[in-house]
Chains A and B, each alone.
Chain A
Amino acid sequence: MRGDEHVTAEVDSYYAAAKKNYPASVSGRLRTIKWSVLIITLGIYYFLPFIRWDRGPDAPGQAVLIDIAGRKAYFFGVEIWPQEVYYLTGLLVLAAIALFLMNAVAGRLWCGYLCPQTVWTDLFFAVERWFEGDRRDRILMDRASMSAGKFARKAGKHLVWLLIAVGTGGAWVLYFGDAPTIIRDIFTGNAASIVYIWIGILTFTTYSLAGFMREQVCLYMCPWPRIQAALTDEWALNVTYRTDRGEPRMSVRTGAKAKEAGAKVGDCIDCKACVHVCPTGVDIREGLQLGCIQCGLCIDACDTVMAKVGREPGLIGYDTDMNIARRSEGKPPIFRIVRPRTVLYAALIVIIGGIMTYTLANRAFQGVSVLHDRNPLYVNLSDGGVRNGYTVRLINKRPHERHFALTVSGLPDGFTVEAQGVPAANGKPVIEVSADTTRELRVLVMVPGGVALPESTPIEFYIVDTDNGEKASTSDFFKAAPTN
């Protein structure tokens, strides 16, 4: 729009450099919870691949494994085949609803405590503090010119960051193969190039996202803050600065004078402790905002300050704007976690989780699928009989070899079933299927001459495990010449 008559002047810049945050250390109840969550989640992530799980000699012995080459996923006693990917879909549906439920109960619980971006950034902040000191030291160090000491501290920090990042990528690849073997191969240089590539990719993302991008990821890359803002309601607890109690803010000394003069004095002493500890650098006193990941560290910081100045804790806390309004009007606050929205989300989680658990517990470990020959549909034989050809695939989902007897029903007596290359017992082909595999073979069904057949007869194929009687079936048709 340059040259447009309405343009009155040029603007300085349409881009702004990100301001680096220097979050101060803090201790308190929520900080302790965050440390615990960090240890548990990262502990699971880094050590889960090492847990062993015995599935017999023909299956991998790793508890959690995504076997891309073998096209199977293992989770302790559960084994998922590609055609059962709907369990993964179900898990994603559950995760989405769980996210909604968390949001309806207490805002951005996911962002503040569980999100990998938050957890790894928290860990990287801890390393940064360990090498460079707390907020004040770091600010001063960044302003100071380079010195041997500064260089050593910065180098140490980046080295540890890189080690964590490599470990993150290193743990990731362990989920896709036998962990001890992969680790040995990595260090002896024998691992597949894709292993090194993935370690490289995740080293880069961890190092850059947790070390440098940090809150920029939440502000500019992540869609959830926008969705969350649209999903929240007036009942959902959020990390809230209780303006009814805090305002007007003033220092302790000014406050004491104002009180003597009979003016209203808020509890907020404007020490900015809440701003200084914030990992995304927002001021919670401005109310709910996109940049606030609701980690609750400002709650801990404020409670510490309130204790020092001898005031009640909880100036910042999990609360709602509605309660601020109620308290301002002299009414008691109301907290309601059980309400239609949360009940609906919880019920959905229970129902979907229940259906998934039920189907998982009752799913079949064998299957059969049949494809009728397309050309020819039927073959007339010399004795006047009719033969139909089928391609039959048997599935054995158990980690050991099994034998299935194949039978067909729905045809007049006298017909025979022949599976090519397979011996028959009592007129039934008995098909051997190796552990955790499928077997495809041609099956010929013959009806002898002299039996009247309609153009199409619905039939049923059954397979029965000869050892334990487990069954599977599927339906198809037997075709014959059109009857005139």
Chain B
Amino acid sequence: MAHEEIDKVTGVSTTGHEWDGIKELNNPLPRWWLWVFYACIAFAVGYVFVYPAVPLVSSYTKGWLGYSQRASALAEAEAGRAARNEVGQNLANASLEEIKNDPKMLEFAMAQGRAAFGDNCAPCHGSGATGSKGYPNLQDDDWLWGGTLTDIEHTITVGIRSTSPDTRMNDMPRFGADGLLDAKQIRNVAGYVLSLSGNSVKGADVDAGKQIFAENCTSCHGEDAKGSHELGAPNLTDKIWLYGGDEASVINTITNAHRGVMPTWGGKLDPVTIKSLAIYVHDLGGGT
């Protein structure tokens, strides 16, 4: 050693480095620490060869193991799909009731139904299935074409006024627009219909309206005005109105009629997805 300067206060040698009179003491680092440092460098070099590491112009070095997070994520997704196919097969062969009563199939159908609903049904019925004016609320207990599992499955499959030859279909006359009833008669029948759910229309003769209803409406809506699932005729006595339950809306409906359309999903979605959708929608608010 050419030089050693001992610091008087600590008795430790200095490195000879000095800044503004402050000298750096040399408390030597343990040598194994240095070896750990070299070991880390060796590890890093090894890592570069074993794992993907160096970015190239249009690619990157793949490493000896060929490891790829993307590939392993895809493999996991594939494994999940394979597992789903197994349950999916069971679903294809099971009846709706069987699916409903088997917790494993039910869980699968609910998950698939929820996803399929979001993809296909939510644009009209809303992401919460609450619908809007002209688009039925699927959460409530009022069903135009029936709310049983099989009713719902059938409605989804064939649609309403759709392009399917088996489509659900009905045809309410445009009583006002086509001159079947005059404005006074329409006001009276509207007054009668709204009286069934405890409301009234100003200036309407309810008794006259009842007579007009019996002559024109009962064939579809029934004598008790409770509608028909077979014909898709709405129940007029409850508190749920697809096109609005106020005076003006009801008069407008009688005058012009509404013909909502739901597409057929039979050819577009596979039967297992439709089953899952039926289970999911039935679970929302379905019943009889």
Binding site for B on A (CB under 8 A): 1, 4, 6-18, 213, 216, 219-220, 373-376, 379-384, 387, 420, 442, 449
- How near does chain B come to A116, taking the closest CB pair, in angstroms? 20
Interface of chain B residues 264 through 285 with chain A (CB within 8 A):
283, 285
- Would A7 and B127 count as touching, CB distance under 8 A? no
- Would A10 and B3 count as touching, CB distance under 8 A? yes
In the complex, chain A residues whose CB is within 8 Å of the CB of B45: none
- Asked whether B5 is an interface residue with its Cβ less than 8 Å from the other chain, the reply is yes
Interface of chain B residues 123 through 150 with chain A (CB within 8 A):
126-130, 137, 139-142
- How near does chain A come to B9, taking the closest CB pair, in angstroms? 16
A12 CA to B5 CA, complexed, in Å = 12
In the complex, chain B residues whose CB is within 8 Å of the CB of A13: 28
Choose, from B71-79, B234-242, B248-256, the stretch at the interface: B234-242
Given A375-B127, A379-B137, A9 and B142 touching (CB < 8 A)?
A: no
In the complex, chain A residues whose CB is within 8 Å of the CB of B15: 11, 14
**8 Å CB contact of B32 from A18, A383, A384:** A18
- How near does chain A come to B22, taking the closest CB pair, in angstroms? 11
A387 CA to B128 CA, complexed, in Å = 14
- Counting chain A CB atoms within 10 Å of each CB, the highest count among B1, B30, B129, B240 belongs to B30
- Would B239 and A449 count as touching, CB distance under 8 A? yes
- Asked whether B8 is an interface residue with its Cβ less than 8 Å from the other chain, the reply is no
- Would B31 and A18 count as touching, CB distance under 8 A? yes
- Would A18 and B30 count as touching, CB distance under 8 A? yes
- Counting chain A CB atoms within 10 Å of each CB, the highest count among B4, B15, B139, B142 belongs to B139
- Would B32 and A216 count as touching, CB distance under 8 A? yes
Given A8-B5, A10-B16, A379 and B240 touching (CB < 8 A)?
A: no
- Would B127 and A379 count as touching, CB distance under 8 A? no
A383 CA to B198 CA, complexed, in Å = 11
**8 Å CB contact of B3 from A8, A15, A16:** A8
Which chain B residue shows the least CB distance to A7?
B16
- Asked whether B13 is an interface residue with its Cβ less than 8 Å from the other chain, the reply is yes
- Would A11 and B13 count as touching, CB distance under 8 A? yes
**8 Å CB contact of B139 from A4, A216, A379:** A379
A13 CA to B34 CA, complexed, in Å = 12
Which chain A residue shows the least CB distance to B1?
A12
A382 CA to B238 CA, complexed, in Å = 5
Given A11-B26, A380-B239, A382-B238, A16 and B130 touching (CB < 8 A)?
A: no
Which chain A residue shows the least CB distance to B240?
A382
Size class of the contact patch on chain B: 35 or more
- Would B140 and A379 count as touching, CB distance under 8 A? yes
- Counting chain B CB atoms within 10 Å of each CB, the highest count among A15, A219, A384, A420 belongs to A15
- Would B31 and A16 count as touching, CB distance under 8 A? yes
A60 CA to B248 CA, complexed, in Å = 69
- How near does chain B come to A238, taking the closest CB pair, in angstroms? 22
- How near does chain B come to A21, taking the closest CB pair, in angstroms? 14
A374 CA to B128 CA, complexed, in Å = 8
Given A4-B17, A9-B2, A11-B13, A384 and B239 touching (CB < 8 A)?
A: yes
Per-residue A-contact encoding for B14-53, CB less than 8 Å = 1, 0 else: 1111100000001011111110000000000000000000
Given A7-B16, A8-B5, A11-B15, A382 and B140 touching (CB < 8 A)?
A: yes
- Would B29 and A14 count as touching, CB distance under 8 A? yes
A276 CA to B239 CA, complexed, in Å = 96
Complex A-B, nearest 10 residue pairs according to Cβ-Cβ distance, in ascending order: A9-B3, A375-B128, A382-B238, A16-B28, A379-B139, A384-B239, A6-B18, A376-B130, A382-B142, A376-B128
- Would A381 and B30 count as touching, CB distance under 8 A? no
In the complex, chain B residues whose CB is within 8 Å of the CB of A18: 30-32
- How near does chain B come to A377, taking the closest CB pair, in angstroms? 9
In the complex, chain B residues whose CB is within 8 Å of the CB of A381: 140-142, 239-240
- Would A15 and B142 count as touching, CB distance under 8 A? no
Which chain B residue shows the least CB distance to A15?
B31
A381 CA to B138 CA, complexed, in Å = 11
In the complex, chain A residues whose CB is within 8 Å of the CB of B30: 15-18, 216, 219-220
- Would B130 and A375 count as touching, CB distance under 8 A? yes
- Would B26 and A380 count as touching, CB distance under 8 A? no
In the complex, chain B residues whose CB is within 8 Å of the CB of A14: 15, 26, 28-29
A4 CA to B19 CA, complexed, in Å = 10
A75 CA to B230 CA, complexed, in Å = 64
Given A8-B5, A8-B16, A11-B26, A379 and B285 touching (CB < 8 A)?
A: yes
A229 CA to B240 CA, complexed, in Å = 77
Given A380-B140, A381-B141, A16 and B29 touching (CB < 8 A)?
A: yes
A18 CA to B2 CA, complexed, in Å = 23
In the complex, chain A residues whose CB is within 8 Å of the CB of B18: 6-7
In the complex, chain A residues whose CB is within 8 Å of the CB of B283: 420, 442
- How near does chain B come to A333, taking the closest CB pair, in angstroms? 30
- Would A15 and B34 count as touching, CB distance under 8 A? yes
In the complex, chain B residues whose CB is within 8 Å of the CB of A6: 16-18
A382 CA to B13 CA, complexed, in Å = 93
